[in-house]
Every structure is written in structure tokens, then in C-alpha cells.
Amino acid sequence: MKTIVAFFVILALADSVKAETSPKDMVDAVVTRPIKGENYPVLPALPTELRSNIMNQLVESKPIRDTYAKLDARQRNVSWFEGISELEKQKAVWPLLSALCHYSEDTQIHALRSLRRLGDKQPVPFLLVYADYMAVWEEGSENATIHGIIHTEIAKTLSSLTGIKVEIKGQDVNGLKKGIHIWKKWQLEKEEKKGS
């Protein structure tokens, strides 16, 4: 009888392990658009190193993992915003960065603001990639307004993290491109000093 009970306990444990979503699948659920269509502007893919950093944080911290699950693009936007706020409290910089590849522009805006408040400079290289993708013009009144907020928040975040102030109000493709050029120069100088 004990053998039969032990067998069923092992089966139940195996099912619970199978039911656990892998870190890779969790990241994919955040950065994969759940509805038909495409994002405009197109969102950048997460570089391998950044994906690894995110997955490592998910493996190492159950609270971060549980919070990150709220960013699943198939969930409701209320849960996304809660997830961003909680990741900020947990200082989970890498998972926050992946929210820049979330299909919801509002989620991207919340992530930019959280990254700025955290003040960690490690995200700057990917923020520059993201800024390059966003440095395009978007038509339509509502879309243009939201895209303008993204331009403004990118400038505020990169200005804060690099210490090089570039002011952008609303949609300003040329201003953002000039800022990107300046911030990339800052990043290159930082990398050169680190390599010396």
C-alpha cells in the first residue's frame, strides 16, 4: 500500500513540475504579441545576454518570477502595470527591460519610468537599441500622442542614467536621433574606460 501511495505522490510532484512554466516560456509570453497584427514601430528582439540575465533572475528569485508572470501579454493591462511596479520595488532591472518589448505601449512607458527611478546604468546599451527602434514618426492623433510620450520618456530616462540632458517634448524624431548619438558616445567612452 505504501508503494502505491508513494507512486501517486511522485506522479503528483512530476505533474506540478511539468505545470511550472519555464523561464524561456515566461520571457516569450511577455515579448510575444498575443493578437494579430504587428507593432509599429517594430520592437527590438532581446539580445541573448539580456535574455540570459532575465532568465537567471527568474530562476534565482521566486518573488521576481511570480511578479514577472503578471507581464504575460495575454493577461489584462491592470496586471501588467502591477507587475512593472512590483518589479521596480524588487529592483529587477533585467525583467523590467524586457517590458520594453511588450506589445503594449503603456507597459513600455511604465517600464521606462521605473528604469529611470531605479537609476541603474546597466540597461543603457539596450535602452539605446530600443531608442533607435522608436526613433520614427507615427501618424494618427492617438498613436502619435502615445508615441510622443515614449519619445519624451526615453529622453528623460537616458538623460537621467547618463547624466547628459536631452529634452524632448512629444514626438521629435530628429531630437531623439541627436540624443541617441550623444548617449551612444557616452556609452562608448564608458566602455573604453572600463576596458582600460
pLDDT tens digit sequence for 171-194: 999 999 999 999 999 999 988 888
Number of structural domains (the chain) is: 1
Cell of 175: 531630437
Over range 36-56, report the average pLDDT: 95
Indicate whether 120 belongs to any domain. yes
Share of the chain above pLDDT 70, in %: 90
pLDDT tens digit sequence for 8-33: 443 343 344 335 799 999 999 999 99
**Whole domain around residue 77: which residue ranges?**
41-195
pTM of the model: 0.88
Separation CA 88–CA 1 (nearest Å)? 50
Indicate whether 35 belongs to any domain. no
Indicate whether 122 belongs to any domain. yes
Question: Looking at per-residue confidence, does 20 or 34 come out higher?
Answer: 34
Indicate whether 78 belongs to any domain. yes
Separation CA 81–CA 129 (nearest Å)? 23
Indicate whether 29 belongs to any domain. no
- As a whole number of Å, the end-to-end CA separation of the chain is 68
Over range 98-115, report the average pLDDT: 97
Residue 148 · residue 171 · CB < 8 Å: yes
**Strands annotated E in the chain:** none
Amino acid at 175: G
Please tell me the predicted confidence (pLDDT) of residue 10. 39
Which of these, 98, 45, 101, lies nearest to 67 by C-alpha position?
Answer: 98
Residue 109 · residue 148 · CB < 8 Å: no
Indicate whether 5 belongs to any domain. no
Please tell me the predicted confidence (pLDDT) of residue 19. 53
Indicate whether 14 belongs to any domain. no
